[in-house]
Structure 1
Amino acid sequence: MDALVDEWALVGIDATTRAVIADRSGGNPFYVRELVRLIASGQDVAAVPGGVRDVVRQRLAVLPAETVTLLRVAAVGGREIDTDVLLTAAAAGGTAPDLDDGAVDALELALVSGLLVEPAPGRVGFGHALVRDTLYDDLSSVRRARWHGRIASALEVLRPDDVTALAHHHESAGPSHAAATARYAAAAADLAEHRWAYTDAADWWARAESARRTAGPDDVAGVLRLRARQIRAAQLAGDVARSRSLREDILPVAAATGDHELTAEIILAADVPTIWSPRSVHPQDHYLLGLTRATADRLAGRPDLRARLLAVVATELEGDPDDAGYRAGLEALEVARAHGDPTVLAHALYGRYLHTYRDLVDGIEERRAVGAELLDLARRHGLGQFEAAAQLILLQACCARADWAAADVHAADAVTLAERYGLPLLAGIGLWYRGLRLALAGRWAEAEAAYDTASAAVSTTGFYRQSAELTWWVSVFCLRLSAGRYAELLDMTRSVLDATSPDLSAETVELLAVALLVDGRPEEARELLDRSGPPPRP
């Protein structure tokens, strides 16, 4: 197929677009040519070329009306559809005893025509996505919604466990199906989470929440609980920015209910270990902190919730110059140990870990101890996300002691666990270590490539892009400085120098000053350091 694309292409076509062309054309030379021409005209490859649309319509024009109708119902069903579901949906509403036979005859003719194929026993589909898209696009929105509803009804009888398809078709059937959409979208989200597909789960939770708002606008608690599930799925997917935004948006609504346990549920929805603190680029959220403290005080009789809420305070105050976060972490750990629940204790240990950097010397051993306890706890109780986080904590402790053999093991285990449990942010953080190891070996070019790979992996999760970019910048800056590539340092700092100093960490400001110094600009380096103020105390 690449040869056909190259023969007809008037502009460069990348590998991703070529894959889309292959999928949508099914390798048909005419469809390939028309898609290539479509791209050359500046249109989206997802559109249907006019020439293809005309040819499909001409083929439909010679078919009986019953066959065309069945093809259109099939198009509403998607690229592929269960044969029994299609026949039931196509026959829905009929009363004549021979209607099913008529639908079967129409299906057979659609297969003979080549517009439908049988990819597997009991399933039919479109050999070319462009045929399906033409049929679907030619339907009015009213008819689409009606047939989505018919397919949903057929699925409920014939395939009641296919919750993802049921959610899709009920949602596409319109507002009158909102209650069913909410129910099945939540089931689809649960299914995605069991498969560790957290990005998909977050999307389904959002759709369930939207449908619940339509079906039951007065069900505030129900909407809030669906939002909590969406927040957590987004956080597990590594999309920290989205998770925090979703929580920030709904917290006042939760607080206004006066239900402290429900408020705690919303606050705690985002308490997933991320190793990298969101505070690295996110300003301190005074409303969140105040509400979390107040809720923890009001739930003194719920030590499980109180410990986790205190751990959230510790997490939010990580790196703060005063000791409020440190004290909250200690109290969270004390309450969690007394309560005895392993998951609660895991959250408290993670909150404690974030404050082991207060003491640059003694903190190393404390970090190792916290990581070891968390790893043992996670293994004994099947807490996959905490097991991956514990490996990264131990990796950091080993790096601080220059114990590279042990660090290698923890890094490999962390990435394996993160990939197993669908935690892309933790996997990306684990990949950063490879760049460090290559740098220590003096393999500068390979180290920089490894940092590029790790940065791309973290950025794709939805983690704060600025944080990922700054971490990459610091990594590569130190790499080039160690390699003596001084001429490149200032070039790579220009975009960072444009940022306002208060938004940069003290470490980043110091590196910027180094770049100015090696470029022979000591006065500018001194001015930058003066403007940024004194470094925070450990």
Structure 2
Amino acid sequence: MREAAGGRPVAVVLEDLHRADGQTLALLEAAAAITGVPLLTVACYRPAEVNGHLAKSLAHLAPRFPHRITLGGLSRRDIATVVTAVRGGPVDAATVAALAERTGGNPFYVWESARLLADEGALVAVSEVPQGVRDVLRRRLALLPAEALAAVRLAAVAGLESDVALLADAAEADEGTVLAGLDAAVAADLLTEPRPGRVRLVHALVRDTVYTDLSGTRRARLHDRIAVELRRHRPDDLAALAHHFARSGRTANAPLAVDYALRAAERAERRYAHDVAVGLIEQALEAHTAATADPEDDPDGTVALLVRLLGVQVRAGATDAARRTRGRAVDLAVRAGRDDLAAAVYGGWTEPSPWRSRLEGFLDRTDLAHLERLARDPALDGPTRARVLQVLADAVAGEDAPRALDAAHCQLALARADGEPRLLASALMTSARVLPHETQGTARTPLVAELRELARAHDLPAHRWVCEHLDGLTAATRNDPDAVRRHTAAGLELAHRYRMRWAQGINVATSAMLATVAGRFEEAEARYAEAEGLFQRVGTHHATGPRTLGLWTIRLTQGREADIEADVRAVHAAVGAPVAVALALVLARLGRSAEARAVELPVRPVTDHLYGVELDYRSQLAVLLGDRDAARMLIGHLLPLREQFAGTAGGAYATRPLAHALGDLYRFLSEERHAADAYAVAERVARAWGARTARSDG
């Protein structure tokens, strides 16, 4: 080496020095002693696997003051780079954060997790241990002395981080043996000491590997011991107590598991951690079900837990999961012949939540029949009937506005008679939401003002957000985009403060709508994608679809209907009537009139948050297909709304001033004077919104 370095600089790298034999270590010591030539010796080793021979060599080298570099884990930015390279495409920040937590940034673990992500998807990658990582960890665990392995197993059952005192009391060995085992595990770099009296597994992959390798019997036994000691050490750690009692394998512990889980969920709700509360109540339901031979033997207990779960799922914005929970609970109540339980289930969905979307289809007729029968049931008390009427009003609002308004009026009367603040707030919200489109600008204001005061007085943050949202919609009917922006910003602030991601999603969709109106289409598409991402995170992807519907409105505004034909066809094949108008319009614009006429449309426009957009699209379709009867019918719908920009009153999607559609219909019917008046209104509305007027289709 001295001779080689005499002619030019030489670097010698010894990798995995912890596996070196005596001769290699002697070579390292000799190389380090060479002076007078440009020779760099680099040795890499794992501190956790230093053996006696290597320790002696390191001590021998210490007087030479070697430069020591302690390698930490990869940063999140570097993890994202590795995962993107392995996966062949970008990955979202939430997945990167989860992989960073699970792997500790260890490059090999990151690489293997990225491969798992590419093969199986994010859900598997952030919940399972890659086989290659598992093999490496098992080899390291096999090198531990018995007391260290026992300590790591107990720590893995306790969780990612735990108290040393708790582990010592829960162990089946004496304290000295437990501490010796923990010391050995720390030295082996499987445990760390974040602060005195606490130990933490170096990353979640170690914990998961150790935990899953335990037999079910051993896991249950350790959970039981930890639950008993935890109750003595930390009686207020409700979530941990629920977790360990539920997994203790003892049927007698099921009531304790349920009680602790429900109390922990209530505490989480007070912190607005609704997603945490969902997991806790699901855990309580699982423990209750495991201890009950047949749910139908205890319909009251099971339905009560399902209603609790339904409520927190709604508050978390997980509407897809909430609908499944509601269906499960209603089925159980019907099989038990208990209308009172069925009413309680329907009444569990009265909190503010994301709107129903056309991509979800119309309400299930069986559900609707249950609701209508219960709404007429004289045996129900006033508050229960009021809650059922709210669900009925929301269910039929898009298809039968008069019936929805009647249900909302009845609900409000019952809520005022009862006087309970949250019940009254929900009733005011429903009445404000289901008002006829032509009266929303005036009739909604006093309802929202009363709701705002009630929400402020009784600390109802979700209803405070509803007030900002509804006031924004009212501002849209008055062509005041500045006010729409102000209320959207105020809503976003509330949504962030109280962790209402579904509300954030709606506000972001409103921002996308405003960008569409201004012609900033790239920004609008990005915003719709952001909104959909927020909805996906809380489980409302199928119920919303802002990226899909937003892209359709943008492409139709741009005259690029050919770009979306396949997508519109696919969605129509899945949901049918709710998107039939969009399919017919795309076909008609592409010049395929016969195919457009063959699309079966709902007889009446759907009066949901897309009402204005649908009126515009139906008007374009009537002109393109030469349908004079449809044109006359649509004029009647458009006249009360001629001062509005289509779609903005729904707060999510927009096309053009409705007066423009009205002008096209009048021109099609050869009523030129009325057409000219309508186009003048359209230009005024477009100027108010800062939008360009589109050319006439007449």
Q: Give me the TM-score of the superposition, normalised by structure 1.
A: 0.85
1:169 aligns with 2:251: no
1:440 aligns with 2:511: no
8 Å Cα contact 2:359-2:571 kept in structure 1: no
1:503 and 1:109 map into 2 onto residues whose CA distance is 60
1:368 aligns with 2:445: yes
Distance 1:282 1:481, change over 3 A: closer
| Greater shift in the superposed pair: 427-436 or 105-114 | 105-114
How much does 1:405 deviate?
A: 1.8
Map of 2:630 onto structure 1: none
Counterpart pick for 1:520 among 586, 591, 603:
591
Q: 5 Å matches for 1:490-529?
A: 490-500=562-572, 503-504=575-576, 508-528=579-599
Map of 1:118 onto structure 2: 193
**Which digits, 9 at most, give the CA deviation of each residue in 1:424-473, with x for residues without a partner?**
222211111111222232322212222222233234332251x523x544
Alignment-mate amino acid for residue 456 of structure 1: G
Q: Which runs of 5+ in 2 are unaligned?
A: 1-73, 608-698
Map of 2:398 onto structure 1: 319
Map of 2:299 onto structure 1: 220
1:501 and 1:139 map into 2 onto residues whose CA distance is 48
Q: 5 Å matches for 1:396-475?
A: 396-463=473-540, 465=542, 467-469=543-545, 471-475=546-550
Alignment-mate amino acid for residue 149 of structure 1: D
Q: 5 Å matches for 1:144-223?
A: 144-176=219-251, 177-217=253-293, 218-223=297-302
Q: Which runs of 5+ in 1 are unaligned?
A: none
Distance 1:526 1:301, change over 3 A: closer
Alignment-mate amino acid for residue 173 of structure 1: S
Question: SS of the counterpart of 2:410?
Answer: helix
Map of 2:104 onto structure 1: 26
How much does 1:398 deviate?
A: 0.9
RMSD value over aligned CA atoms?
Answer: 3.4
2:152 and 2:417 map into 1 onto residues whose CA distance is 64
1:535 aligns with 2:611: no
Map of 2:177 onto structure 1: 102
Question: SS of the counterpart of 2:192?
Answer: strand
Identity of aligned residues (%): 32
Distance 1:117 1:408, change over 3 A: same
How much does 1:211 deviate?
A: 1.1
Alignment-mate amino acid for residue 239 of structure 1: A
2:80 and 2:264 map into 1 onto residues whose CA distance is 40
How much does 1:229 deviate?
A: 0.6
Map of 2:669 onto structure 1: none
| Greater shift in the superposed pair: 382-391 or 193-202 | 193-202
Alignment-mate amino acid for residue 532 of structure 1: L
Alignment-mate amino acid for residue 340 of structure 1: G
1:266 and 1:40 map into 2 onto residues whose CA distance is 41
8 Å Cα contact 2:163-2:199 kept in structure 1: yes
2:598 and 2:367 map into 1 onto residues whose CA distance is 35
**Which digits, 9 at most, give the CA deviation of each residue in 1:290-314, with x for residues without a partner?**
4445445556673222322222222
Distance 1:480 1:90, change over 3 A: same
| Greater shift in the superposed pair: 324-333 or 515-524 | 515-524
2:547 and 2:133 map into 1 onto residues whose CA distance is 47
Alignment-mate amino acid for residue 318 of structure 2: D
1:22 and 1:265 map into 2 onto residues whose CA distance is 43
Pick the structure with greater CA Rg: 2
Distance 1:269 1:52, change over 3 A: closer
Q: 5 Å matches for 1:54-69?
A: 56-57=138-139, 60-61=142-143, 63=145, 65-69=146-150
Size of the aligned set, in residue pairs, is: 521
1:138 aligns with 2:213: yes
Q: Give me the TM-score of the superposition, normalised by structure 2.
A: 0.67
Distance 1:505 1:429, change over 3 A: farther
Question: SS of the counterpart of 1:125?
Answer: strand
How much does 1:77 deviate?
A: 1.7
2:279 and 2:292 map into 1 onto residues whose CA distance is 20
| Greater shift in the superposed pair: 220-229 or 268-277 | 268-277
